[in-house]
Amino acid sequence: MRKARDGKGRPDLLRARLERGMTQEEAAAAVGVAVGTWGRWERSEQGIRPHSRRKIAAVFEAESAEVEQWIEGWALGETSSWPVAEYGDTSTAASVKSAALLWRYEMDESRRHLLATLPFVPSVLAGWITAWNYGDSPQTVALRGNRRTVGQADIDRINEARQVFGQIDDQFGAELVRPTVVRYLDSTVTPLLRGRYDDQVGSALMSAAAGMTLLAGWTAFDLNQHGQAQQHFGQALRLAKTGNDPLTGVWILATMTRQAIHLEQATLAVWLARAATDAARRAQVSPRVMAFVLTRQAWATALQTKPAETNDKHSAKRVERLLAEAENAYAQGPTDRDPDWVTRYEEVELNAQGGRCWSMLGDHQRAAARAEAAVVEFGNRIPRTAQFNQVHVAEAYLGMGELEQSLAAARAAIPATKALTSARSTDLIRQFADRLEPYRGSMMVREFRDHLNHELAA
């Protein structure tokens, strides 16, 4: 691991120790390293690995961003603007530089740790949406010079790799595949972006890079690293803008909507969903793409208005109209204009996402039926989606007041939760357990919670 700060010492780390009245021996013992190691850390003669940085933060009762400043000499604020900084500049050179910087930092062990601690920043989204809607794509995407010539075969390989990585993510969860995705971006995609290509190849290359970057963001999202995911989503949107690819932009905006829904940022989810739907209509996308974005808009609208809680019949009708429009669009069937990413959006998935809306509309019976159908359909084929829907079955029965059926459904989700490397999957079932608090006196609930805690700990 590289030395930090060019061997000039780490005065901020020294100052932090002294402010806490600790000797080098005491600090080293508390963190669990030799005193010589601690001394080399302060003199900047040795790098500090992420697990040691976390221990320093715990021992010194400091935020991780503050520890990074002590060690690296730069603060979270200097990186938290990626890729917001100069987002209006969508020239090929600027977009390539921004993407390469982000991916290179992903490969740096210490900076990757910092990226993983970045917060989700709601305030940047309005600027991104505005830049997407009203910014100009560059007049040329071509790059010239004495670099390697990039061709369609290179682009095909990126897209094929993304599909393979995506299948691994679906099957096992994000933790297994994410390191491979970011390594591929840094080692393979960056040299291609810096290569030589004409406008046609350049546009296709930007789109392929955007798709792979979106996957990097999605895998961070699945690991609950939401600020890190947001950085990649923003970079993906920028690459799609550079390549003048509205279809890929629709995909990215819809994925950002999903993150906002997960974080219960209802207003942001509605903004992003509307941006995706508007972009889809302008681009005259295929019916199945339109069904995809309309379902996300219905979900975001239901989250914002909560019709079952507010008894807002007007909002309920709006959600129902969006769902009906999505189902009608899907029923038109596939076309030769369908991108590869929407071909994986099966009818059962459309119905399952619609079921989340029906749950918020108070129709738990319909929500349960749709989630149960998804569990049967996906089974071992897409375990994470099956696990999510198994928990949604439990939630729906709980909404109907059927406690015993709800707990039985939730128990059935535990083996898949253990098998997946997905923080979202674990959070989802733990959140269900929290919803059982009104029934905490029930023996069945106590037994379920004990069983869940035991299995997840194991």
pLDDT digits (tens, 9 = 90+) for 171-182: 999 999 999 999
Tell whether 88 and 231 lie within a shared domain: yes
Question: Does residue 455 fall inside a structural domain?
Answer: no
Mean pLDDT of the chain, nearest integer: 90
Pick the last residue of a domain from 244, 269, 299. 244
117 and 205 within one domain: yes
Confidence of residue 75 (pLDDT cuts 50, 70, 90): very low
3 state DSSP class of 141: coil
Of the two residues 163 and 112, the one the predictor is more confident about is 163
* Residue 51 clears pLDDT 80, i.e. is over it: no
Residues 73 and 210 in one domain: no
User: Does a structural domain hold residue 358?
Assistant: no
How many domains does one find in the chain?
A: 2
According to the model, what pLDDT value does residue 83 have?
43
Residues 49 and 120 in one domain: no
Q: Clarify whether residues 146 and 239 are in a common domain.
A: yes
Domain assignment of residue 93, yes or no: yes
pLDDT for residue 73 = 61
Counting residues of the chain whose pLDDT is more than 90, the rounded percentage is: 73
How high is the pLDDT of residue 458? Answer: 78
Q: 106 and 212, same structural domain?
A: yes
The per-residue pLDDT for 413 is 97
CATH (domain of 42): 1.10.260.40
C-alpha separations of 372 from 218, 345, 366, 378, 435 in Å: 25, 17, 10, 10, 20
Which neighbouring-strand residues pair with 143?
Answer: 197
Q: Report if residue 176 sits inside a domain.
A: yes
Q: Are residues 31 and 98 in the same domain?
A: no
Residue 63 pLDDT level (bands cut at 50, 70, 90): confident
Residue 453 lies in a domain: no
Please give the pLDDT value at position 28: 93
45 in the same domain as 86: no
Same domain, 100 and 72: no
Last residue of a domain, one of 223, 244, 265: 244
Q: Which residues contact 68 (CB under 8 A, 6 or more apart)?
A: 53, 74, 75, 76, 110, 113, 114
**pLDDT value at position 88?**
63
Domain boundary among 209, 225, 244: 244
Decide if 145 contacts 392 (C-beta within 8 A): no
Distance CA 70, CA 352 (A): 48
Residue closest to 67 by CA, chosen among 117, 128, 103: 117
Please compute the mean of the pLDDT values over residues 349-362 and round it to a whole number.
95
| 111 plus 213 within the same structural domain | yes
Residues 151 and 165 in one domain: yes
Q: What DSSP state is assigned to residue 187?
A: I
> Quick one: average pLDDT of 272-287?
96
Q: Is 138 a member of any domain?
A: yes
- Transcribe 304-373 into DSSP letters: HH-HHHH--HHHHHHHHHHHHHHHHHHTT---TT--HHHHT--HHHHHHHHHHHHHHTT-HHHHHHHHHH
For the cut 90, the answer to whether the pLDDT of residue 70 exceeds it is no
pLDDT recorded at residue 2: 38
| 289 within domain boundaries | no
Q: Is the pLDDT of residue 16 over 50?
A: yes
Flag whether pLDDT at 76 surpasses 50: no
Specify the pLDDT at position 440: 92
pTM (global) more than 0.85: no
Residue-range definition of the domain harbouring residue 37: 5-77
Token pair for residue 190?
């960056």
pLDDT tens digits, one per residue of 227-249: 999 999 999 999 999 999 999 99
Give residue 8's pLDDT. Answer: 57
Please state the rounded mean pLDDT for residues 33-54.
86
Regarding whether 59 and 9 lie in a shared domain, the answer is yes
Q: Is 364 domain-assigned? A: no
Pairwise CA distance, residues 78 & 259, whole Å: 24
**Residues 334/343, Cβ–Cβ less than 8 Å:** yes
How many whole angstroms separate alpha carbon 90 and alpha carbon 406?
Answer: 50
Q: Model confidence over 312-343: pLDDT tens digits?
A: 999 999 999 999 999 999 999 999 999 999 98
Q: How many CB atoms within 10 Å of residue 195?
A: 19
Q: Residue 345 CA to chain centroid, in angstroms?
A: 18
Check: CB of residue 102 under 8 Å from CB of residue 248. no
Angle between helices 226-242 and 124-134 (to 10 degrees): 10
Total Cβ atoms within 10 A of residue 289: 25
**Is residue 74 predicted with pLDDT exceeding 80?**
no
